Amino acid sequence: MNARSLMGLLALALLGGCATFSGDGGTTAVNASLQSRGLQQPAPWIRSETEAERAAGEVNRLLAQPLSADTAVRIALLNNHGLQARYAELGIAEADLVQAGRLVNPGFSFGRLHRADIIEYERAFLFDLMGLLTMPLRTEIERGRFAAAQNRVAAEILQVAADTRRAWVRAVAAQQAAAYAEQVRTAAEAAAELARRMAGVGNFSALDRAREQAFYAEATAQLARARQTAATEREALTRLLGLWGEAITFRLPERLPDLPKELPPQLREITDIERLAMQQRLDLQAAVRESESLARKLGLTRATGWFSVLEGKYMRNSESGEPRQTGWEVELRIPVFDSGSARIARAEHLHRQAVNRAADLAVRARSEVREAWQAWRTQYDLARHYRDEVVPLRARISEETLLRYNGMLMSVFELLAESRQQVGAVVEAINAQRDFWLADASLQFAITGRSPGTIAPAAVPHAPAAVAARPGH
């Protein structure tokens, strides 16, 4: 019976050491979570030189073409080293999970005592009974923490994807604005030269000539600002893409993508937005899992509050001239000085704190997604208004003004003034289109990831101040 008992304890110890690491480190569940939230591009965890070389080859292939928003996101997921560093959180959480499924190594003690001519030997095999009894609950706690870590990593991936998409929108919009500012500067230069020549033959007043020269000067300054903004936004995108060296010469499209012809059906009603956010927000799911994990930990603390140490020993003693002694011993700490009440109180406060944080996050998530939806819908309507109303009207006015100028019914000054007004309308249309795509990226992240924060519009230059009002004669 003693031999069988010893073998049983050894079998339990071996079972406790069977917890192993998964082959993917938890990334399969992370990518499945991302795909269910609309991010179809996998986010690999690069852990070897072979994988790094494969990722570098794909990045080079993607950089050979002008970058679309989706391509930029793909490069960021492959090449953003900050994101790769966050994957270590998965490895740490999985290591804790594996450790929770393993018992403390058994121990062996040996003693030799002698009294006169009598020699006594004491042998004991020590086994952590408390660890064995609490292993299922400890493993369940760490499994919940591992799932929460997967949620946090998935949320970080969505954050990088959203930041990259917004940076791409800003970079393309700034590049488009800079190109248009260069066209404006060229036109202003031609108008200033025309004004100089007309003033030279007495057909243009000194005041009108000064106005054209001022507009040209402002257009020149605005072009410099636009180019600096374009460079700044491009560098912000470069950092997210993790590029350096020759790779920073990547190409961007010449203009932003067109507005969608109609809004997605699932995003048309604000009540649907809240429901989607409650179902998909990763930060909310992580908060709920954390509170559940702390609830399990609270149960474990309450169950073991009185007894922190419980060890079993199998003993086999021998003494000179006496029969061998065998038996067992249990070691239990007596809760005389520490009854465990402090540990229980701490666990209760942590659990209550997690529950309140999850409830607060749910309230804020509903508000944030409503705010993001309102901004998204407003920017869509504004962008369509500029595209369908303001810019076509300004183009028509410019055409009519040109016809009247050709018919000698309007002066060249009025023609140039109207051209300035059209410049302002085009710049504002670019701004509105940019703001819609920024709001679109923020809304998607508010629904699926975590708090999008305050998204300030990018600093795309406006038209020169002379465009703001048409000067009089």
**468: confidence class by pLDDT, cuts 50, 70, 90:** very low
pLDDT score recorded for residue 382? 92
Name the DSSP class of 457.
P
pLDDT score recorded for residue 469? 37
pTM for this model (two decimals): 0.72
pLDDT score recorded for residue 467? 41
pLDDT score recorded for residue 238? 94
Percent of the chain with pLDDT strictly greater than 90: 17
3-state helix, strand, coil in the chain (%, to 5): 70, 10, 20
Phi-psi category of residue 25: left, alpha or beta, with phi > 0 → left and psi -120 to 50 → alpha: left
Structural domain boundaries in the chain? 2-467
Q: What angle do CA 334, 338, 339 make, to 5 degrees?
A: 80
Query: Of the ranges 43-57, 265-279, 438-452, which one carries the lowest mean pLDDT score?
Result: 265-279
Q: Reply yes or no on domain 2-467 having CATH 1.20.1600.10.
A: yes
The residue with greater pLDDT, 176 or 203, is 176
pLDDT score recorded for residue 33? 76
Amino acid identity of residue 198, one-letter, is M
**456: confidence class by pLDDT, cuts 50, 70, 90:** very low
| Nearby residues of 320 by Cβ (< 8 Å), 6 or more positions away | 117, 118, 119, 120
Amino acid identity of residue 328, one-letter, is W
Query: Of the ranges 22-31, 67-76, 236-245, 439-448, which one carries the lowest mean pLDDT score?
Result: 22-31
Average pLDDT on 255-267 reads 81
Report strand pairing: 118-128 vs 310-319.
Answer: antiparallel
Nearest to 435 by CA among 387, 380, 384: 380
Is the pLDDT score of 305 beyond 60? Answer: no
User: What phi and psi values does residue 360 have, to the nearest 5 degrees?
Assistant: -65, -40
- Which residues are 315's β-sheet partners? 124, 327
User: What phi and psi values does residue 334 have, to the nearest 5 degrees?
Assistant: -90, 125
Residues 183-239 have pLDDT tens digits of: 888 888 887 887 788 788 877 778 878 887 888 898 899 899 999 999 999 999 999
The H or E element spanning position 216 is: helix 206-241
Average pLDDT on 107-117 reads 72
